[in-house]
Copies of this chain bind each other. A is one copy, B any other.
C-alpha cells in the first residue's frame, strides 16, 4: 500500500516553494495551483494503484538475462511502463517542442517522488530516460533532437547513462572504451558496467549515452567524449532499424533494487557499435556533468521517496499491531502508542517532511536558475549548484537510517522478507553510492562550492536562513524556541564554515571534514524549511485556511524536527572541528 503524500506536496509547493514565483518564469505561465493539484492527484493514483502493487513481487522475481541474450523484467512492468508512457509522465519536465509536458522541476520532482516511493526498481527506467532527454535537449543537435526526443518522451524508447568500467568507478580518467571515427559516425568498443536498465523488454529501443575516448584524445578526463549509441539503429524515416553491436553480458545480483536490470554491456563484440557524437568531441565530461547534476538531484529524491515508503509501511504496522498496553495508555492500543515507537515514527515524519521541503525548494531554485531573472547576478544558479550535493548526500545517507528505523518498528517481522519492510532497507543502500558516493558529493560541496568562492555561496545561504527566521519569529510566539534553536544552529554552521575555510591550505583536512559538512548543511537546511513550514501552518490556522489538523500536525512536526534532528548540527560541527587533527595522527598501516 502506498498513499502519495499529495497534501504535504501541495502545502510545500504553495507555501515554501511559491508556485507564483515559478509561474512568473517565462514559459511557465501555465503553472497554477489547479493544474498542479490535478497533476499530483493523477500521479498519486497511478503510483498507488499500478506501480506500488508490483514492488514486492518485482523484488522477488528480479530481472533476468535469458539464454538468447535478451533481458526480461518482472511481470507487470511492461504494462506499467505503457501506462506511465501513455499518461505523458516520462517527459513531464521535458520541452514541449519535442513532446514533453514542460512542467517545472519542482512539480516534476513531486511526481517523481511518487514513482520512486511506489516502486523504485521500476521507476529507475524513467529516471535514466529523463536524464537522457535532458542531455539531448541541452547538447544534442537538431537532427538528434528530432530523432530521439519524441520517442523518449513518449516512452517508446528509453535511455541509459554509461560511465563506469571495471577499472574506472569514481575515477573517470581511467576510462578505456574507444570510439573510432568512421564517416558520419564512430565505432565504439569497450565494456561498461552497472548500467541501469542497460537492457530490458519494456521499450522497442534503448538510447545509450556512452562515455568513450577518441583515438587521438589526450589521457585523463579531458580526452573523453559522449556518444549516442542506440540498441537498434534508426532508419532515415525514424523507424527502428538494424540491431547495433551492443549486448548485455550479464545482470548483476544485487542487494536491492533487484527488479531493475543492472547490466554489464559489451560494445563491439563484432565490428564495433555505431555511435554518434553528442556535443563536441572531448567535451564529454561537461555533458555528463550536466546529466549528473540532474541525476544527483534525482537520487536525493529517491532517498526521500524510499524513506517515505518505509515510513508508510511502518506506520500501517504500528497502527495495527497490539503488544502489551502502552505506558499510561489504554489496553488494546497498538504499538504506535508505545513511547519509543511514537518517537521513531515522529522523527521519521519530521525528517521526511524536511527532506521533501528542501527537495522541492531546491527544484524551485533549479527552475528559477534555468528560467533566469532580470536582476539575477548568478545567485540563482549558485544556489541550485550549492543545494545539489547537499540534497544528494544528506537525503541518501538519511534514507539508510529511516528505512532501518522502519524495519525496527516491525520488530521480528521486519526481518522476514515477506513483510516487505526489509526491501526498502535493501533498496536504499545503493543511494549513497551511485551517481557519486557521499564522499564525492562532499568533495563537490567543499572544493567546488565552498572553497572556490571562499564560502560566499554558503554564507549567502546562512544569511537567507537568518532573514527567514526573523520572518518565522513574526509568525507567532509559539515559534520562539524554534527560531532560537535555528539561530544557534546557523551560528554553529557559520563557525564550521570558517573553520573549514581555515583548512583550505590542507586539502586532506578539508576533504576529511567534507561528509560531516554536507550532513551539517543538510540538517540545517531541513530545519530552515521546517521552521518556514511551521510559520506557514500557524498563519494558515490563524486565517482559517486549509485543513486545521494538517496545520497542527505541521506545527508539532516542526517542533519534533528541532528536538530530534537539529541537535545533529552541533555534533557534526564538533566532529569537523576535532576530526582532521585526530585523523592526521592515524597511520593507514595501523588500520
A408 and B430 contact, CB distance less than 8 A: no
A567 and B571 contact, CB distance less than 8 A: yes
B411 and A430 contact, CB distance less than 8 A: no
A15-26: CB near B (< 8 Å → 1, else 0) gives 000000000000
B422 and A404 contact, CB distance less than 8 A: no
Task: Please give, as numbers and ranges, the residues of chain B lying within 8 Å of A509 by CB-CB distance.
Answer: 339
Task: Please give, as numbers and ranges, the residues of chain B lying within 8 Å of A404 by CB-CB distance.
Answer: 400, 429
B582 and A415 contact, CB distance less than 8 A: no
Task: Write the chain B residue with the least CB distance to A428.
Answer: B404
Complex CA–CA separation, A449 to B436 (angstroms):
45
Complex CA–CA separation, A256 to B408 (angstroms):
14
Task: Write the chain B residue with the least CB distance to A568.
Answer: B571
Task: Please give, as numbers and ranges, the residues of chain B lying within 8 Å of A426 by CB-CB distance.
Answer: 255, 426
Complex CA–CA separation, A193 to B411 (angstroms):
13
Q: Which of A433, A564, A588 has the most CB of B within 10 A?
A: A588
Within the complex, the shortest CB–CB distance from A546 to chain B, in Å, comes to 14
- Asked whether A578 is an interface residue with its Cβ less than 8 Å from the other chain, the reply is yes
Within the complex, the shortest CB–CB distance from A161 to chain B, in Å, comes to 14
Complex CA–CA separation, A458 to B71 (angstroms):
60
- Asked whether A414 is an interface residue with its Cβ less than 8 Å from the other chain, the reply is yes
- Asked whether A416 is an interface residue with its Cβ less than 8 Å from the other chain, the reply is yes
> In the complex, which of the residues B256, B323, B437, B567 contacts A578, with contact meaning CB atoms closer than 8 Å?
B567
Complex CA–CA separation, A341 to B567 (angstroms):
25
Task: Please give, as numbers and ranges, the residues of chain B lying within 8 Å of A185 by CB-CB distance.
Answer: none
A171 and B340 contact, CB distance less than 8 A: no
A342 and B512 contact, CB distance less than 8 A: yes
Complex CA–CA separation, A110 to B585 (angstroms):
28
Stretch at the interface among A118-126, A301-309, A343-351, A376-384: A343-351
- Asked whether A243 is an interface residue with its Cβ less than 8 Å from the other chain, the reply is no
A585 and B556 contact, CB distance less than 8 A: yes
Which A residues between 409 and 466 are near B, CB-CB below 8 angstroms?
411-412, 414-418, 422, 425-426, 429-430, 432-434, 437-439, 442-443
A171 and B255 contact, CB distance less than 8 A: no
Complex CA–CA separation, A586 to B514 (angstroms):
34
A560 and B586 contact, CB distance less than 8 A: yes
A412 and B425 contact, CB distance less than 8 A: no
- Interface of chain A: mostly helix, strand, loop or mixed: helix
A590 and B553 contact, CB distance less than 8 A: yes
Complex CA–CA separation, A404 to B417 (angstroms):
19
A564-591: CB near B (< 8 Å → 1, else 0) gives 1001101100110011011101111111
Within the complex, the shortest CB–CB distance from A381 to chain B, in Å, comes to 27
> In the complex, which of the residues B164, B341, B579 contacts A439, with contact meaning CB atoms closer than 8 Å?
B341
- Asked whether A222 is an interface residue with its Cβ less than 8 Å from the other chain, the reply is no
Complex CA–CA separation, A20 to B327 (angstroms):
45
Given contacts A255-B416, A556-B582, A563-B582, 20 further A-B contacts (CB under 8 A): A170-B323, A171-B323, A173-B324, A253-B418, A254-B417, A255-B417, A255-B426, A256-B415, A339-B508, A339-B509, A340-B443, A407-B433, A408-B437, A411-B433, A412-B434, A422-B429, A556-B585, A564-B582, A567-B570, A568-B571
**Could you give 5 example pairs across A and B, Cβ below 8 Å?**
A171-B324, A339-B512, A343-B512, A567-B574, A571-B571
A residues lining the B interface (CB < 8 Å): 164, 168-171, 173-174, 193-194, 252-256, 315, 323-324, 326-328, 336-343, 345-346, 349, 400, 404, 407-408, 411-412, 414-418, 422, 425-426, 429-430, 432-434, 437-439, 442-443, 506-509, 511-512, 514-515, 549, 552-553, 555-557, 559-560, 562-564, 567-568, 570-571, 574-575, 578-579, 581-583, 585-591
Considering the complex of A and B, which 6 residue pairs feature the smallest CB-CB distances, nearest first?
A: A553-B590, A563-B582, A340-B439, A563-B578, A339-B512, A567-B574
